[in-house]
């Protein structure tokens, strides 16, 4: 028997301004401790799907009108974005939101300072370096001189 996915998006439909259909029938599953990449052309709905998961559609006058989004088996459609963050759902928005004068390692420590213990910070830092080994190689360089890489990143923080 397979375990239930940590995150599941089931046949969602997203509409902007109550008229513009942005996504129809999108589904995905993220297994426990898994990673999923969203690939597609500009305008395909990748950002809209991520905003549906993180709860950031409303400020852009968007809404999920069909389907459901579940995290750890519970429907999260009606949960506010800040409460989704407390559950461990985090979306890093487009752009370079780093302290350019700090190293990647210092940036990770600074980001961890707002939540959790020192042991949590160390575990999360090692997890990032496991997922992104090239970043581990450059952890002592100034962040402002590193390549931006992908503009979008999705991280599902396991608690």
User: How far is CA 147 from each of CA 1, 46, 92, rounded to the nearest angstrom?
Assistant: 42, 22, 17
pLDDT band for 91, please (50, 70, 90 cuts): confident
Rounded CA separation 34/49 (Å): 18
Domains of the chain: residue spans and CATH: 7-87 (3.40.50.300), 104-148 (no CATH)
Nearest to 75, CA basis, from 148, 8, 142: 8
62: number of Cβ within 10 Å = 20
Cβ–Cβ under 8 Å, residues 23 and 48 = yes
pTM flag (> 0.85): no
On the question of pLDDT at 56 being above 70, the answer is yes
Please write the tens of the pLDDT for every residue from 103-158. 888 888 887 766 678 888 888 888 888 888 888 888 888 887 776 543 233 233 33
């Amino acid at each position: 028997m397979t375990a239930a996915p940590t995150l599941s998006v089931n046949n969602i439909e997203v509409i902007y301004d109550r008229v513009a259909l942005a996504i129809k029938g999108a589904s995905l599953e993220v297994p426990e401790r898994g990673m999923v990449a969203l690939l597609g052309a500009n305008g395909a709905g990748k950002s809209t799907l991520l905003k549906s998961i993180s709860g950031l559609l409303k400020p852009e006058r968007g809404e999920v009108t069909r389907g459901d989004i579940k995290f750890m088996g519970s429907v999260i459609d009606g949960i506010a974005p800040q409460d989704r963050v407390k559950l461990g759902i985090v979306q890093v928005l487009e752009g370079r939101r780093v302290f350019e004068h700090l190293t990647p390692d210092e940036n990770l420590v600074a980001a961890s300072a707002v939540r959790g213990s020192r042991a949590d910070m160390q575990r999360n830092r090692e997890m990032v370096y496991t997922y992104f080994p090239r970043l581990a190689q450059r952890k002592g360089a100034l962040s402002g001189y590193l390549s931006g890489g992908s503009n979008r990143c999705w991280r599902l923080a396991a608690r």
